[in-house]
Amino acid sequence: MRMNRFALALGVTLAGTLALTACSEDPSAPATPTVTDTSTRIPVLQVDAALHDALPDEIKASGKLELATYDSQPPWAIPASDPTAFTGASSDMMAAVAAILGVQLERNAVPGLPEIVPGIQAKRFDFALGPIGDSVAAEKNVDFVDWVKERVVFVVPNGNPKGLSNLDTTCGLKIGVIAGGSAGPILQAQSPKCEAAGKAPIEVQEYQQQPQAVLAVQSGRADAYFASRALLTYFVQQSSGGLQLAAEDETNGYPDTFYQGAVFPKGAEQLRDTILKAFEALKANGAYDAILSKWDLDYMSLDEFGINLLGQPT
């Protein structure tokens, strides 16, 4: 598995205009970083001592968290020419979480979701910030701290030549999904309905990475790609008019409110609950909404966060 590792250290700029600085009069106390971004009004952030103290002892001792992230998931994680440099909404949120907890976040960039969840279950990573789509099935194996809401839509060639407008119009189409994600099972459940109606089944194509799936649509190897609106909006904007969204106003087999969040192994309740409280603190001080606004993701904002919101809270 290809992996790029680097530390999001207090005092190191990770995400573009987010600047981290550290200061503390007491060398035995956790560093007191600040995060400022005057262009998007991200407020100054300082270490929350109670949240730092709530971290598991082994994390406080090491001073860092091992974080799994996609190596490319725009607009959340946008790689640069330097393989250790990322920008994006998740990178900014990572910087804010690090600042408020007073620890380092060491990014482990992996190719896709199939590597993230097993890595978390095997305790190679402490958690994944995501956001990764929550589902009742996934909650049986991992825990979610849900911190945004989303719609799952389709990207199609400009003009929507196949007339895709909802799940009922996907029959007979070749549709890309990310391997291991929640979109594939929805199309696989829809395909028998197509056949029962006397229509051709759906050809579900699995891809490891987002750009591969988008390229398949652009090259005609796929009729559409089924994924979160934030990701697909980014690719539409980059396509110079070659792509458009479809079925934007439909739930497309998902709950009315589809949650996405950070992912934790079962049994990591102390860390999970501390990260939840960190998001609540970032919401209260305005940093959370400022970061989403910076990346034109205001529509994803939640008023309240929670654990396993598509299943039973634990």
Instruction: For residue 274, tell me if it sits in a domain.
Output: yes
Asked whether residue 13 falls in the same domain as residue 76, the answer is: yes
How far, in Å, are 60, 62, 77 from residue 65 at the CA level?
9, 8, 18
Asked whether residue 138 falls in the same domain as residue 163, the answer is: no
Please, what's the b/e burial string for 37-74 (b: 16 or more CB within 10 A of its CB; e: otherwise)? beeeebeebbbbeebbebbeeebeeeebbbbbbbbbbb
- pLDDT, average across residues 284-311: 93
Asked whether residue 97 falls in the same domain as residue 196, the answer is: no
- CATH number of the domain within which 99 lies: 3.40.190.10
Q: What residue numbers bound the domain in which 39 lies?
A: 4-149+259-307
| More reliable by pLDDT, 258 or 191 | 191
Instruction: For residue 254, tell me if it sits in a domain.
Output: no
As a whole-number percent, the residues of the chain with pLDDT over 90 amount to 61
Predicted local confidence at residue 116, as pLDDT: 86
Quick one: 28 exposed, middle or buried, by C-beta within 10 A (0-12, 13-18, 19+)?
A: exposed
Predicted local confidence at residue 56, as pLDDT: 96
Instruction: For residue 61, tell me if it sits in a domain.
Output: yes
Asked whether residue 52 falls in the same domain as residue 131, the answer is: yes
Asked whether residue 202 falls in the same domain as residue 114, the answer is: no
Residue of 32, 44, 35 lying closest to 14 (CA atoms)? 35
- pLDDT, average across residues 219-242: 94
Instruction: For residue 127, tell me if it sits in a domain.
Output: yes
How far, in Å, are 100, 246, 281 from residue 150 at the CA level?
25, 15, 22
Evaluate if residue 10 carries a pLDDT over 90: no
Last-in-domain residue among 202, 220, 246: 246
CB 207 within 8 A of CB 184: no
Predicted local confidence at residue 77, as pLDDT: 85
Evaluate if residue 206 carries a pLDDT over 50: yes
Q: At 81, which amino acid appears? A: S
Predicted local confidence at residue 101, as pLDDT: 96
Asked whether residue 11 falls in the same domain as residue 122, the answer is: yes
Asked whether residue 125 falls in the same domain as residue 165, the answer is: no
Instruction: For residue 253, tell me if it sits in a domain.
Output: no
Instruction: For residue 273, tell me if it sits in a domain.
Output: yes
| Cα 247 from Cα 165, distance rounded (Å) | 5
Evaluate if residue 305 carries a pLDDT over 90: yes
How far, in Å, are 179, 263, 283, 287 from residue 276 at the CA level?
27, 11, 11, 15
Asked whether residue 221 falls in the same domain as residue 266, the answer is: no
pLDDT in tens, 160-181: 999 999 999 999 999 999 988 8
Last-in-domain residue among 197, 212, 246: 246
Evaluate if residue 4 carries a pLDDT over 80: no
| More reliable by pLDDT, 166 or 255 | 166
Name which of 5-14, 48-57, 104-113, 203-212 the model is least confident about.
5-14
Q: How confident is the prediction for the chain on average, in pLDDT? A: 84
Tokens of 55: 């971290």
Q: At 284, which amino acid appears? A: A
Asked whether residue 46 falls in the same domain as residue 60, the answer is: yes
- pLDDT, average across residues 237-248: 95
Predicted local confidence at residue 182, as pLDDT: 84
Evaluate if residue 16 carries a pLDDT over 90: no
Asked whether residue 213 falls in the same domain as residue 80, the answer is: no
Predicted local confidence at residue 65, as pLDDT: 92
Evaluate if residue 25 carries a pLDDT over 60: no
Asked whether residue 113 falls in the same domain as residue 187, the answer is: no
Predicted local confidence at residue 12, as pLDDT: 31
- Give the chain's domain count: 2
- Binning the chain into helix, strand and coil, the percentages to the nearest 5 are 30, 30, 40
Predicted local confidence at residue 107, as pLDDT: 86
Highest mean pLDDT: which of 5-19, 269-283, 298-312? 269-283
Predicted local confidence at residue 73, as pLDDT: 81
Evaluate if residue 24 carries a pLDDT over 60: no
Instruction: For residue 16, tell me if it sits in a domain.
Output: yes
What is the value of pTM for the model shown?
0.77
Tokens of 151: 């719609």
Asked whether residue 164 falls in the same domain as residue 303, the answer is: no
Instruction: For residue 251, tell me if it sits in a domain.
Output: no
Q: Binning pLDDT at 50, 70 and 90, where does residue 230 land?
A: very high
- pLDDT, average across residues 40-65: 90
Measured in degrees and rounded to the nearest 5, phi and psi for residue 201 equal -70, 170
Predicted local confidence at residue 83, as pLDDT: 58
Tokens of 267: 């049994």
